[in-house]
Amino acid sequence: METPKSLKALVVANGDPQDGPMVRRALETAPDAWVIAADGGARQAAYFGLTVHTLIGDMDSVEPPELERLTHSAEVLRHPPEKDETDLELALLLAAERGARWIRVLAALGDRLDQTLGNIYLMALPELRGLDVRLVAGKQEAWLMREGQSVVRGAAGDTVSIIPLSGEARGIRTENLYYPLRDETLRFGPARGISNVMQSAEAQISVREGIVLVVHTIGRA
């Protein structure tokens, strides 16, 4: 099946669906997105009513009947079980390689802490730098920020957390958050950046040096 000529991609992992308003917002934003299922993510794509355009992975967690059906209706890219990348990593690399600029990752959380953390860290792949990549689950979305500025769009009262991932993140400034940061440093470990509150429909975050994880939660967390 031909890849849809879209710069937007929905990548569906094999974790819990965790449906919710942030997920629905992503789905409504990109009704014609290219849908990539990472192996058993085909099952979660069906939960969301999505048509899978590309199935990628070692096919160890997709059900045989579903695999058979997708073989006739979608592009299937099979990889060996003994590989360096996870299935979700392969899906993200494929999306970037084929030109997707806006990527939303669904069903990337579950009951395995190692997989959850690994899925979050995948957003740091060099191939994704400069792309709009966000993990969405329930009423939350999360993305990585490097040097530069990011705008958080939501509503007054929403929760925003800024979590350093690179040892130290320096020169952090915020606008329209209840607890302002003014050219400050956040260090890996302390919870200084957790649970800030938006004061209007938009908030700004800027980082001079380092990498932070931004988590936007609808409403008070």
Report pLDDT digits (tens) over 72-91. Answer: 999 999 999 889 899 999 99
Looking at the chain, list the stretches that DSSP marks H as alpha helix, in order from N- to C-terminal side: 21-29, 41-47, 64-73, 87-97, 113-121
Residues 87 and 171 in one domain: no
What's the whole-number mean pLDDT along residues 165-185?
96
Domain end position, chosen among 138, 154, 178? 138
Residues 206 and 157 in one domain: yes
The tokens describing 22, both together, are: 């942030």
Inside any domain, residue 115: yes
Inside any domain, residue 36: yes
**49: phi > 0 → left, psi -120 to 50 → alpha, else beta; which?**
left
Inside any domain, residue 114: yes
Residue 175: exposure state from Cβ atoms within 10 A (0-12, 13-18, ≥19): middle
pLDDT digits (tens, 9 = 90+) for 133-174: 999 999 999 999 999 999 999 999 999 999 999 889 999 999
Among 57-66, 89-98, 137-146, the minimum mean pLDDT is found in 57-66
Residues 59 and 113 in one domain: yes
Which DSSP letter does residue 198 get?
Answer: B
Residues 43 and 133 in one domain: yes
Q: Which of 147, 86, 78, 73 is nearest to 117 (CA)?
A: 86
The tokens describing 21, both together, are: 């308003």
Q: Domain limits at 38?
A: 8-138
CA distances from 193 to 64, 76, 157, 169, 187 (A): 45, 42, 16, 11, 9
Q: In what order do the strands lie in the sheet with 184-187?
A: 148-153, 202-207, 168-175, 184-187
Task: Say yes or no to pLDDT of 4 above 80.
Answer: no
Residues 53 and 123 in one domain: yes
86 vs 100: CA distance, rounded Å = 19
What's the whole-number mean pLDDT along residues 201-212?
97
Task: Say yes or no to pLDDT of 2 above 60.
Answer: no
The pLDDT score that the predictor gives to residue 52 is: 97
Q: What percent of the chain has pLDDT over 70?
A: 97
Inside any domain, residue 80: yes
Residues 110 and 195 in one domain: no
Band (pLDDT 50/70/90 cuts) for residue 6 is low
Residues 69 and 134 in one domain: yes
The pLDDT score that the predictor gives to residue 5 is: 60
Domain end position, chosen among 79, 109, 138? 138
Report the number of distinct structural domains present in the chain.
Answer: 2
The pLDDT score that the predictor gives to residue 166 is: 87
Inside any domain, residue 212: yes
Task: Say yes or no to pLDDT of 186 above 90.
Answer: yes
Domain end position, chosen among 115, 138, 161? 138
User: How many helices (H) and strands (E) in the chain?
Assistant: 5, 14
The pLDDT score that the predictor gives to residue 136 is: 98
Residues 200 and 113 in one domain: no
Inside any domain, residue 204: yes
pLDDT digits (tens, 9 = 90+) for 25-51: 999 999 999 999 999 999 999 999 999
Q: Which of 17, 13, 42 is nearest to 105 (CA)?
A: 13
The pLDDT score that the predictor gives to residue 210 is: 96
Rounded to the nearest integer, the mean pLDDT of the chain is 94
Q: Quick check: 142 and 221 in contact, CB under 8 A?
A: no
Q: Which residues contact 98 (CB under 8 A, 6 or more apart)?
A: 3, 34
